Structure 1
C-alpha cells in the first residue's frame, strides 16, 4: 500500500521541469546573444562573462556554507544571474568592478532575502543598478572596434541619425549582450518554444512602450524612430529575459498585463524625459517592487466567496 500512495502537502500538480532544467533552458537561449557579444567585443567580453558566472556561483556557495544552509548552486540560478549580469556590462568594465557587482547581486539582492524565490528584484539587474550608481563613469564607457563613442540610443536622444539595420544585427556599441536584437529574438523564440515563458509580459511591455513613444516621443508614428528604440539599449534583453523572471513577476493573467504596462510606461518616461538614454533596468526594478501590490488586487476570488458588504446605515427616524 505504501508504494501506491504518496502523502505530501499541496500543490499536488507537478511538472517534469525543475529549477535546474529551466535555468539550463535560459542559458541555452542566451547562447546566441552571448556568442555574438564575444564575437563583437572580443576576448574582454569572454573574460567578463566567465568572471561574473564564477563569482556568482562562488558567492552563493560560500554564503550558504557560512550560514550552514544546503548548497543550491546545482540549480544553475547563480550561473544565470552571472551570465545576465555580464551581458548587461560594457566590455571595457574593470574586472574587479564586475566581481563587486556579482557579489552584490547574489549576497545582497538574493541570499540575504532568503535565496531563490525570496528575492524582491531581479538579482542581475540589482547588481547592474548598484554598479551604475557606484561606478557611473566606467559603466557608461562604451567602445566598438577599439573606438569609444556614444551608443545608438544616446545618438538618437541627441537628435542624430542612427542605422537601424546595424542595431538589428548588432554592429554597434553598447553592453555585451544588448547590441544584437536579432540574436536576442532568436533566444526568445527558444524560450517560447520550450514553454519557459509566454508572450504576455514582453508583448504588453513592448506594445505599451511603442504607444508611449508615439504619443510623447515627438516623432509621431515614425517607424525608423520606433525600430531604433526597440533595437537599441536593453529593451529586448530586458523584456524577454529579465521582466519574465518567475520570482519577480506576477503570476495572475491580469497582473501580467498591468506589469507589462508599468514596464512600458516607465521605460518611456526614463528614455524620453530622463537624463539618460536608457531606462530598462530601473523600469524593471521599480515594477518588481510593485508586484506584491499588483498580485494583491488581481488575484481572483475563490468560488463562492463574496466581497464583504458594508452595513447599511440606520435611518434616524427608525
Structure 2
C-alpha cells in the first residue's frame, strides 16, 4: 500500500508545529472563532481533497497523509476574520484545494500558493464579510452563534485594523493615533504585534531546522523595510507608516516565513528566492499604501508566483555568467 513521502510529511508537520505560537496568540486575541475557523477550514480542505482524489482515481490516504491540506487550512485560519460566517472558511479552503492545488495535479504541481488562491477568492467575492473583525473577544457560545447564525450580525462587532485606520486617516498625526486609537499598539497594530512576533518565532524554528532557506524571508522583510523606509514621509497626518509599523502589522511575518517560502509555486534557485521575496515585499507595501486593500499579501504572492519562472531563469543566467 502506498505511503506518503516521509520527507514531505516531516516538513509539513514542522510547519504545523511552527504555526502553533501564532494560532495561540490569535486565539488569545480573538477567542473561539479562531478554533471554529480552523476546524471548518480543515474539514473542508480534507473533504475537497478526498473527493477530487477519488474522482481522479488516485490513492486518497497517501495525499491526505502528507499534511499539506492541513497546512493550507492553518494558513487560511490565520488570515481569515475570526468571526466569519461558517461558509466563508469552507469556501476559502475548498477553493484553495480545488482550484489552487488539485486543478494543477496535486501536491508538488501547483503554480500558485493554494492558501492565497483561496484567500484571494473570498476577499474578492465577499469583501463585506472579509473586512469585519470583532471589536472584543466573544465567548464560545457567542462565537458559535456568530459563525452559524442564519442572519448577518457581524456588523455590530466590526473593528478596523491599524492598516485600515492609517489608509483613511487625514486629520491625526501618527503619534496621536498611537495614543488615542484602539487599533494601535506600541509599534504596530494592537495585538498584531504579538501575532507577528509569534509567527516570527515559528519561522525562525523552521529556518533552524532547514525546512527552507533564508532567501525568501530575508528578501520579503528586507524589501518591505527598504521601500517603507524610502517612502516614509514622517509622522504627520498623511504618513504612510514607519518601517517598524509595516514589519509588525498585518500578516508580514506570516507572509515572510510561511507563505513566500512555499517551495512549489516559488523560485527554486537561491537568487530567484531572494528576488521573489524582495518583489513580494515591494508589492505588499505598494498595495497597503496606495492599493484598494489594506494588506496586499495574497495578491503580492500570487503576482510573484507568476514571475517565479522568469526569476529562476534570470538567476540561472547569472550563475552561468559567474561560472
TM class, shorter-length: 0.7 to 0.9
Count matched residues. 283
1:17 Cα shift? Answer: 6.1
> What residue is the counterpart of 2:191 in the other structure?
171
Check 1:91–1:303 CA distance in 2 against 1; reply closer, same or farther (3 A cut). Answer: closer
> What residue is the counterpart of 2:31 in the other structure?
42
1:109 Cα shift? Answer: 1.1
1:46 Cα shift? Answer: 0.5
Separation (CA, whole Å) in 2 of partners of 1:36 and 1:302: 42
**Could you tell me whether the CA contact under 8 Å between 1:23 and 1:80 is conserved in 2?**
yes
Equivalent of residue 127 in structure 1, options 118, 142, 159 = 118
**Could you tell me whether the CA contact under 8 Å between 1:33 and 1:183 is conserved in 2?**
yes
Q: Does 1:70 align with 2:68?
A: no
Q: 1:132-143 counterparts in 2 under 5 A?
A: 132-143=123-134
Q: Does 1:80 align with 2:71?
A: yes
Equivalent of residue 22 in structure 1, options 4, 11, 36 = 11
Q: 1:1-318 counterparts in 2 under 5 A?
A: 18-71=7-60, 72-145=63-136, 147-159=157-169, 161-162=177-178, 163-165=184-186, 167=188, 171=191, 180-219=195-234, 225-299=242-316
CA RMSD between the two structures: 2.5
**Could you tell me whether the CA contact under 8 Å between 1:179 and 1:232 is conserved in 2?**
no
CA deviation map 1:190-219 (0-9, x unaligned): 111111122211112111112112222423
* Structure 2 residue ranges without an equivalent (≥5): 138-156, 179-183
> What residue is the counterpart of 2:152 in the other structure?
none
Separation (CA, whole Å) in 2 of partners of 1:302 and 1:154: 42
Moved over 6 A (4+): 301-304
**Bigger shift: residues 113-122 or 208-217:** 208-217
1:155 Cα shift? Answer: 1.7
**Bigger shift: residues 18-27 or 205-214:** 205-214
Separation (CA, whole Å) in 2 of partners of 1:20 and 1:73: 10
> What residue is the counterpart of 2:146 in the other structure?
none
**Could you tell me whether the CA contact under 8 Å between 2:196 and 2:251 is conserved in 1?**
no
Structure number with larger C-alpha Rg? 1
Task: Choose between structure 1 and 2: higher helix proportion.
Answer: 2
Check 1:57–1:186 CA distance in 2 against 1; reply closer, same or farther (3 A cut). Answer: same
CA deviation map 1:89-111 (0-9, x unaligned): 00121111211111111011100
**Bigger shift: residues 184-193 or 20-29:** 184-193
TM-score, normalisation: structure 1: 0.82
Separation (CA, whole Å) in 2 of partners of 1:112 and 1:101: 15
TM-score, normalisation: structure 2: 0.81
* Structure 1 residue ranges without an equivalent (≥5): 1-15, 173-177, 307-318
1:130 Cα shift? Answer: 0.2
Check 1:201–1:301 CA distance in 2 against 1; reply closer, same or farther (3 A cut). Answer: closer
**Bigger shift: residues 272-281 or 95-104:** 272-281
